[in-house]
Amino acid sequence: MYREITMRKLFAAASLFVAAAAVNAQQPSAAETVQVTVVEVPVTVSDRGGNAVRGLTKENFEVTDDGKKVPIEYFEMLDLPTLTAQAEASSSTPLPPAATRHFLLLFDLANSSPGTIGRAAAAARQFIEGQLGERDLAAVATFTTEKGARMITNFTRNRTLLVNAIETLGNPAYFKVADPLMISALRATNNATAAGADGGTAGAAEKAAQEMARENEVQQGKIRDNELRDRLRIQLTNMGSLVRALDRISGQKQVILLSEGFDASLVHGRENLGSASARQEDASVLAGEVWNVDSDQRFGNAAAANDVDMMTTLFRRSDVVLHAIDIKGLRGASDVTTSDGTAGKSNEGLFLITAPTGGTVFKNGNDLKSNFGRLLKQQEVVYVLGFQTHTTGKPGKFHALKVKVVNAKADKVTARAGYYEQSNMSDLERVLTVADVLMTDAPVDDITVKVTATPFPGPNNRARVPVVVEIPGSRLLQNITGKSANAEIFLYAFDKNSQVMDHLKEKITLDLTKAGEQIRNGGVRYYGTLRLPAGDYAVKSVVRVEESGLMGFTRADVNVPAFAGSTVVDPVVVAEPGNWGLIVGPSRGDDYPYPFTAGETRYIPQRNVQVSPSGTYRVALFLIGVPLENLGLTPTVTSEGGATKQADVKLVGRTAPDDRGVFQLFFDFKPGTLASGQHQLKFDVKSKDGAQSVVSMPFVVQ
């Protein structure tokens, strides 16, 4: 049995003054580090049947870097079905970065008709809803004659967002992203999509796709034959630029182009050498009338071939495979050639651009769902090869890689063609990178970031969740020599379906001439308030410094109660503000006053803190609408192995309930003889009406 603290002692006291206690967490001493550049190369190997090859070892691979064989110093085989099953058993366990699959669904509206685009959208929706793995990420993009290649969504696991984007093809009248990272959409989008989701008559979302396809068809009609090659060049250049931005993302990256194809003769010339046009040109050549021969149509265009080569080279260098689905379906003879012997739209053009990247064209089959299934089957196993390298210090310099499988049967080996040295990020690269960290929980820790989120009751069934983001200054300002520093703070709340329920984004500018020493000796805290309905959430934050490019990531799992009755919220450690700067995010008009106060003193809430066995730590417990009379509390500590013991906790004070019925109890907690490692401080709270709550706070004993 564990000792219970009753509230009768509190009523006997006239008043108790509670001061915010400092957290005596010791910071690790600075150590000199040696920076080693390691390149990781994900490799997939398949047999003739398209099945992933398992059981290979490090000795089955050879890697050359710029033509020189390098020793493989790190090797790992990742079996995705096994890893995914393990990850699903623990939703907070991230997959290794190399095991995360990214699928970019690229709708080619410039080379597709409204009817086939509708079929492609239906197949893509089936893929998202039925075949995309729980830990896979997908994004949607379009290419149009007028606007070129455009990302509609970022990579996300939010199925609702992806389906909305597919059904509307990003038509701004029906689809609008709601955040700077393109991983959420306005609620109105869901309503528009649902209007036609049940079949029968076309809904608003389907009409949106049809409108965009028809508009693009009108644009195509305006293009003269002699402009087709320029349009192809623009498309290839756009696709190359888009895929170059994907180089920053780790894991398997694949673009799935949904298209009817393009006229391959624009690249390699006339296919049907027996056509009337070809026979006329043969006669002109024999007669010496070479000026009557269109060499581009007869032999192909060198510039267009170079455009294809440049695009596919960017795919290989950025470790992206391009697949294509011929959304025309079954083709007849009338679909293949035109009267002058050129191919017209055909899947031959799709082969030209996919084969050099190691990709596949799924053709002549109307069942696109099975095509997606075959694609995924080849990638069930990933081999990660790691080696050390020496960089030249030239931003963006490319180093060529080759991977070979030896002493093993392998029909197809897919690996990146090389790697780039670090360079400044473009806007798209920055958006893709930050979103990928949030979606995959990537272990990014150039900057130390901590998050504490505490829910309180709010109007309209949406709790107010104040969040404190702590950023220690020493690493925040690392490598910065100027007079100012600019940083972006991204704060997102994801539900269990990876849907963004609320977000905050703040850009801060730090004047180092005035506050540089204060920030370096302390740090910066950001305070903002999320609005969330009842449920379980992962509150995630990424901080990125513009000048240095350094980033940090953290996440905190938060349960938001319904606040339907008396409620107890997880406790926090009371910390002094110290010599830190506090940045308060903009108010949305209905924020509550800062809730973390003890008397007239403000404090900083913290969780998962490091504590010393000899220290004493002030702990605050929030109660909402809980009657104080005969209230019982049983404090315990549970260690990593599951052992539980009485906690050394002393009740030292409380605050009066506010207008929402929220009040605090304050305790002094001594870790004492607890062993080093992770622990949980728990409070079992029982009210006189029989209601019981168990709340907890993680902490680490040094």
In this structure, are residues 6 and 631 in contact, taking their beta carbons and an 8 Å threshold?
yes
Mean pLDDT across the stretch 505-527? 93
**Tokens matching residue 419:** 């790697």
The position carrying tokens 């806007």 is 427
Given a cut of 90, is residue 694 above it in pLDDT? yes
Please give the Cα distance from 580 to 475 (Å, whole number).
14
User: On the CB side of 566, how many CA atoms lie within 13 Å of its CA?
Assistant: 18
pLDDT band at 547 (very low <50, low <70, confident <90, very high): very high
470 forms bridges with which residues in the sheet? 450, 525
Answer whether residue 532 shows pLDDT above 60.
yes
Q: Are 440 and 92 in contact (CB under 8 A)?
A: no
Decide if pLDDT at 430 tops 70: yes
- On the question of pLDDT at 1 being above 90, the answer is no
Higher pLDDT, 393 or 535: 535
CA angle, 467 then 472 then 474, to 5°: 160
- pLDDT of residue 45 exceeding 90, the answer is yes
| Average pLDDT, integer, range 167-173 | 85
For residue 439, how many other CB atoms are within 10 A of its CB? 24
The C-alpha atoms of residue 398 and residue 385 are separated, in whole angstroms, by 18
> What are the angstrom distances between the C-alpha of 535 and each of 157, 290, 448, 567?
18, 75, 28, 14
Given this model, what pLDDT does residue 615 score?
Answer: 96
pLDDT of residue 378: 79
268 near 296, Cβ under 8 Å?
no
Query: What whole-number distance in Å separates Cα of residue 109 and Cα of residue 209?
Result: 10
Mean pLDDT value of segment 48-70? 93
Contact 101, 136 (CB under 8 A): yes
Which of these ranges, 15-24, 62-71, 150-159, 307-316, has the smallest mean pLDDT? 15-24
Tell me the average pLDDT of the chain: 82
Indicate if the pLDDT at residue 367 is higher than 70.
Answer: no
H/E stretch holding 281 reads helix 276-286
Q: How far is the CA of 672 from the CAs of 638, 646, 681, in angstroms?
A: 14, 11, 13
Task: Identify the CA nearest to 648 among candidates 624, 615, 693.
Answer: 615
3 state DSSP class of 106: strand
621: phi then psi, degrees, rounded to nearest 5: -120, 120
Six token digits for residue 49: 């049947």
Most confidently modeled range among 137-151, 244-258, 372-386, 447-461: 447-461
**From the CB of residue 495, how many other CB atoms can be counted at a distance below 10 Å?**
15
Question: Is the separation of the CB atoms in 196 and 205 below 8 Å?
Answer: yes
Under CATH, which number does the domain 99-268+300-377 receive?
3.40.50.410
Alpha carbon distance 525, 513 (integer Å): 19
Q: What average pLDDT does range 459-476 have in this prediction?
A: 94
SS3 content of the chain, % helix, strand, coil (to 5): 25, 35, 40
pLDDT tens for residues 303-347? 778 888 888 888 988 889 898 888 886 555 445 444 444 445 567
> What pLDDT score does 102 carry?
94
pLDDT at 307: 84
Q: What is the pLDDT of residue 20?
A: 31
How much is the pLDDT for 195? 34
What mean pLDDT do residues 545-563 have?
A: 94
Residue 654 has pLDDT above 60, yes or no: yes
% the chain with pLDDT above 90? 44
pLDDT, mean of residues 266-285 = 53
Phi (first) and psi of residue 224, to 5 degrees: -80, 160
> How many Å separate Cα 222 from the centre of its chain?
39
List alpha helices for 406-530, DSSP H: 427-440, 473-476, 512-521
Pairing type for strands 398-405 and 418-420 reads antiparallel
Average pLDDT (599-613) is 93
Mean of the pLDDT values across residues 366-376?
Answer: 64
DSSP assignment letter at 543: E
Q: What is the mean pLDDT of residues 635-647?
A: 94
pLDDT attached to residue 303: 76
Q: What is the pLDDT of residue 127?
A: 81
* Most confident region among 223-232, 360-369, 378-387 by mean pLDDT: 378-387
**What does the pLDDT read at residue 235?**
81
| pLDDT-based confidence at residue 360 (cuts at 50, 70, 90) | confident
Whether the pLDDT of residue 550 is over 90: the answer is yes
Contacts of 488 by beta carbon, 8 Å cutoff, 6+ apart: 434, 505, 506, 507, 508, 543, 544, 546
Q: What is the 3-state secondary structure (H, E, C) of 645-666?
A: EECEEEEEEECCCCCCCEEEEE
3-state SS of 111-152 is HCCHHHHHHHHHHHHHHHHHHCCCCCEEEEEEEECCCEEEEC
User: From CA 271, how far away is CA 265, in angstroms rounded?
Assistant: 7
Q: What is the pTM of this model?
A: 0.83
Residues of the chain with CATH 2.60.40.10: 5-26+444-701
Number of residues that this document lists for the chain: 702
- The DSSP secondary-structure symbol of 482 reads S
pLDDT of 200-259, one tens digit each?
334 655 666 666 665 565 555 445 555 776 777 788 888 888 888 999 898 889 999 998
The more confident residue out of 221 and 76 is: 76
> How many beta carbons lie within 10 A of that of residue 363, not counting itself?
19
pLDDT of residue 107: 93
- Name the packing angle between helices 204-221 and 159-168 (round to 10°): 40
Least confident of 16-30, 361-375, 517-531, 561-575: 16-30
Give the pLDDT of residue 62: 97
pLDDT on residue 365: 46
Overall fold of domain 5-26+444-701: Immunoglobulin-like (2.60.40)
